[in-house]
Structure 1
Amino acid sequence: MRDVHKGASAGHGEVVVVTGASGGVGRATAVAFAARGARVALLARGREGLAAAADEVRRAGGEALVVGVDVADAKAVDDAAQQVVDAFGPIDVWVNNAFAGVFAPFPEVTPDEFRRVTEVTYLGYVFGTRAALHHMLPRDRGTIVQVGSALAYRGIPLQSAYCGAKHAIQGFNESLRCELLHTGSGVRTTMVQLPGLNTPQFDWVLNRMPGRARPVAPVYQPEVAARAIVHAASHGRRREYWVGGSTAATLIANAVAPGFLDRYLARTGFGSQQDDGPHGGPGNLWAPADGPHGRDHGAHGRFDDEAVSGSPQDWVSRNRGRMGAGLVAAGVGGLGAAVTAGLRRRGRRGPSRGR
C-alpha cells in the first residue's frame, strides 16, 4: 500500500521514516516532524490508522507517504525503505517505534505469542535499522532513533515479552553505536527512554488479566514523547534521552537498589497496571487493531483526564548542554564575586605581610 499526500508548506524538508505510525507515539511523532515541514513516511499495518495519520501530517504542513508493512518481515521493511527513497529521496531520520505486547503472567504467554512480540518489538527494530543503514552509510549521514522505555532497563510483571524485547534493543543499539564510532561514521544512533503514556495500546494489547490494562502512573501525553524524539533526531550525538521524572527515578533506583525494586514491583506491579472495566478490542498481536473495517484509534488513549502534557525532566534532558553552560557561568560568576569581595576586604585591611 502506498499513497502520497502533500501539504502546502512541505516538499523541501528532511525525509523521516516512522514505524508504528498509525497510532500512539508513532502518530504523534509523525505529526511533530510534519510541523517542521518534513516529508514523513508512515509505516504500519492498519489502513484506517495510516490514512488518518497521513491526513494529520498533511494538515500539520508536511508531506506523507503511506506504506503498509509488517516490521517483522525483513524483506518488506527493505522494500518499504526503497519506496521512501524512490518517492522522497535520501532518508535523513529513521524512527523505530512499532511494537506489540501481551499483558499476562509469563506462564500464560504461549511460545508463538512470545515469539511474535519479540519479532515485532525487537527484530522490527533490527530490520528497520538495517534498512536505514543500507541507505545512510553510503552517504555517511543520517540519524536512527530507537524509541525505548524505562522498561529497557527495569523489567516489570505482566510484560515479560515486551520488557525482554526492550532490553534486547538497548544491547543491540549500544553495540551498533560502538561500531559506528569505531569507523568514524557520520551516521548516528540514539535511544529515547519513555515513561507510561496515554496511548491506545492499552485497549488493543492482548490481555489475559481480569482488569483492563493501563500504564503505571504518572501518565504522560504522547506529544511529550514526540517532542523528545524529534529533539533526539536533531541531536543524535547524545547516546540516550530519558523522558519524564518517573523514567529518571526508575532508572536511578534500579541502578542503586534493583532488589528493592523487585520486591516493590512484586507488591504493586499487578494492581498498578490494571483498572476496572471491560477489555478493549481483540488485540493487535496478529492483525491491525483497526481491522479491515475498523476505526482509527488516534494518538491518545483513554487517559486524557489524568495525563500531563509537559515534563520538567524532559526539558532538562533536552537542554542539558544549555543548563551545563549556565551552571558553569554561574559558578564562574560566583567565583568572580568571591574574589572581588576578597580583594575589597584585603584593600580595606591593607597589604598582607608574609611570614
Structure 2
Amino acid sequence: MSKIVVVTGAGAGVGRATVEEFARQGYDVALLSREPQRLERAANHIRAEYGVRALPIPTDVADPQAVEAAAARTESQLGPIDVWVNVAMATVFAPVSSLSAQEFERGTKVTYLGQVHGTMAALARMRTRNRGTIVNVGSALGYRSVPLQSIYCGAKFAVRGFTDSLRSELLHDRLKIRLTMVDLPALNTPQFDWASNKMGRRAKPVAPIYQPEVAARAIFFAATHRRREIWVGFSTVKAILANRVAPALIDRYLASAGYRGQLTDEPLPQDAPANLYEPVPGEYGAHGRFDGQARPRSIQMFTDRHRSAFWALAGIGIGSCVSLLVRRRRN
C-alpha cells in the first residue's frame, strides 16, 4: 500500500519541489495551496510522470477550518495521512516602520499559524493511530533575524518555539508520532518575484543560493529518518552558530550589509505582483529567476544524511593523525 503525504504551499517554490520529491519516491500526494490552476497543473504532472495519485485541494492555510477540511478530504479520498509537511509562507520586504498591523497579522497567520493549523489537523488523525510524521519547515532566519524581513523572521522564530513545545508533549504522552524541523538557507524560488515589496527595488536571496530541490531532498530525508532537526547548507549552520557567539556583532554587520544584500539594482516594476492577500496566477514552478547562481546540492546536507559514515571516517582520520604524531615524537 502506498503512503500518503500532505504538502502545504504545494503550488510553487519549495512546496512544489517537495511534491515532486515525494511523488518520485512513490507517495500519493495531497497538494494544498491557494491558486487552483497551478495546483491542478502540478497534480497532473506528478500523475503522468510518476503514476501516483494526486489530490489538489485549494486551501488558505491561514484558515483553520479550511485546513481541517483538507485533511478530512485527504483521508476520505486517498487514505490515512502518513506524513504532513508544512511549507506555506508569505512575507513583505520592508522595514517595520513601513508595515501595517494588518500585514503583520496576515504574514503571521500564513507563515506561523499555517504550520500550527496543519500540525493540529495532522495530529488529530495521527494520535488515533499512534503513528505518522510531521515536518515543520523553518529557516536560518528563525535563529538569526535580518532587516526587511521582520514578518517572516518573527513567524519562523514562532514555528521553532511551537515545534519544541509540541515535541516535549509527544514525548510526555509516549506517542510514536515523529516531529522534525528542517531549517533552510536562501533558495531560488518565486518568493522574490511575488512577495509584497515596499523597497522600490527587486528582492533577491542572500548568497549562497540553493535550488529548491536541495530543500525538498532534506525534507524527504527528515520525514523518513530519525532526526530532531536538520540545518540545510553551511550558510544556515554559520548563521545559527555565529549568532550564538557574537549576536551584537551580527546586528551591526546586518545594519550595514543587510539591505543591499537583499535588494538588486533593478527597479521594482509598478505592476509587480504581491501574493500576501491573494494568490498570484501564472506559470510559476519550483524555481525562481536565479538558476544561474543557485547550487544544485549541499555538501553539508550530504554529511548530515550520511553522518555515521562521515564521523567514522573523521574518527579514522583523527586517529591516523594522532598515531603519526606519536610515532614522530618517539623517533
Task: State the TM bucket, normalised to the shorter chain.
Answer: over 0.9
Amino acid across the alignment from 2:100: T
1:79-90 correspondence to structure 2 within 5 Å: 79-90=69-80
Offset at residue 274 of structure 1 (A): 0.5
3-state SS of the aligned residue for 2:266?
A: coil
Match of residue 11 from structure 2 = 22
1:27-42 correspondence to structure 2 within 5 Å: 27-42=16-31
Match of residue 289 from structure 1 = 280
Offset at residue 331 of structure 1 (A): 6.4
Q: Does 1:50 align with 2:39?
A: yes
- Cα pair 1:191 1:240 within 8 Å, conserved: yes
Match of residue 55 from structure 2 = 65
Match of residue 114 from structure 2 = 124
Amino acid across the alignment from 1:40: V
Unaligned segments of structure 1, at least 5 residues: 1-11, 346-355
Amino acid across the alignment from 1:51: E
3-state SS of the aligned residue for 2:158?
A: helix
Match of residue 348 from structure 1 = none
C-alpha distance in 2 between matches for 1:127 and 1:321: 35
What is the Cα-based RMSD across aligned positions, in Å?
A: 1.8
3-state SS of the aligned residue for 1:277?
A: strand
C-alpha distance in 2 between matches for 1:332 and 1:24: 44
- Cα pair 1:16 1:92 within 8 Å, conserved: yes
TM-score by length of 1: 0.87
Match of residue 170 from structure 2 = 180
C-alpha distance in 2 between matches for 1:326 and 1:63: 41
Q: Once the two structures are superposed, what CA deviation does each residue of 1:58-96 show, in whole Å capped at 9, x if it has no partner?
A: 233132100001001101101100100001111110000
Offset at residue 277 of structure 1 (A): 2.4
C-alpha distance in 2 between matches for 1:66 and 1:172: 27
Count of residues paired in the alignment: 324
Unaligned segments of structure 2, at least 5 residues: none
Q: Does 1:104 align with 2:120?
A: no
Q: Does 1:161 align with 2:151?
A: yes
C-alpha distance in 2 between matches for 1:213 and 1:330: 44
Offset at residue 328 of structure 1 (A): 4.7
TM-score by length of 2: 0.93
Offset at residue 37 of structure 1 (A): 0.9
Offset at residue 123 of structure 1 (A): 0.4
Q: Once the two structures are superposed, what CA deviation does each residue of 1:225-250 show, in whole Å capped at 9, x if it has no partner?
A: 00000000001x31110111111111
Decide which of 239, 243, 248 is 2:228's aligned counterpart: 239
Match of residue 209 from structure 2 = 219
Q: Which sits farther off after the overlay, 315-324 or 167-176?
A: 315-324
- Cα pair 1:144 1:190 within 8 Å, conserved: yes
Decide which of 84, 95, 100 is 2:85's aligned counterpart: 95
Aligned sequence identity (%):
53
Offset at residue 334 of structure 1 (A): 8.2
Q: Does 1:251 align with 2:243?
A: no
Amino acid across the alignment from 2:236: T
Amino acid across the alignment from 2:274: G
3-state SS of the aligned residue for 1:76?
A: helix
Match of residue 307 from structure 1 = 294
3-state SS of the aligned residue for 2:57?
A: strand
3-state SS of the aligned residue for 1:276?
A: strand
Q: Does 1:145 align with 2:135?
A: yes
Decide which of 261, 265, 287 is 2:250's aligned counterpart: 261
Q: Which protein shows a greater Rg?
A: 1
Distance 1:257 1:140, change over 3 A: same
C-alpha distance in 2 between matches for 1:283 and 1:93: 30
3-state SS of the aligned residue for 2:54?
A: strand
- Cα pair 1:117 1:285 within 8 Å, conserved: yes
Offset at residue 166 of structure 1 (A): 0.2
3-state SS of the aligned residue for 1:218?
A: coil
Q: Once the two structures are superposed, what CA deviation does each residue of 1:82-132 show, in whole Å capped at 9, x if it has no partner?
A: 100001111110000001001100011100010000001000000000000
Offset at residue 296 of structure 1 (A): 2.0
Q: Does 1:316 align with 2:303?
A: yes
Match of residue 351 from structure 1 = none
Offset at residue 332 of structure 1 (A): 7.2
Offset at residue 333 of structure 1 (A): 8.0
Q: Once the two structures are superposed, what CA deviation does each residue of 1:12-60 show, in whole Å capped at 9, x if it has no partner?
A: 4210000000000000000000001110100000122202211232233
Q: Does 1:198 align with 2:182?
A: no
C-alpha distance in 2 between matches for 1:49 and 1:261: 39
C-alpha distance in 2 between matches for 1:325 and 1:174: 30
C-alpha distance in 2 between matches for 1:125 and 1:25: 15
C-alpha distance in 2 between matches for 1:48 and 1:268: 39
3-state SS of the aligned residue for 1:303?
A: coil
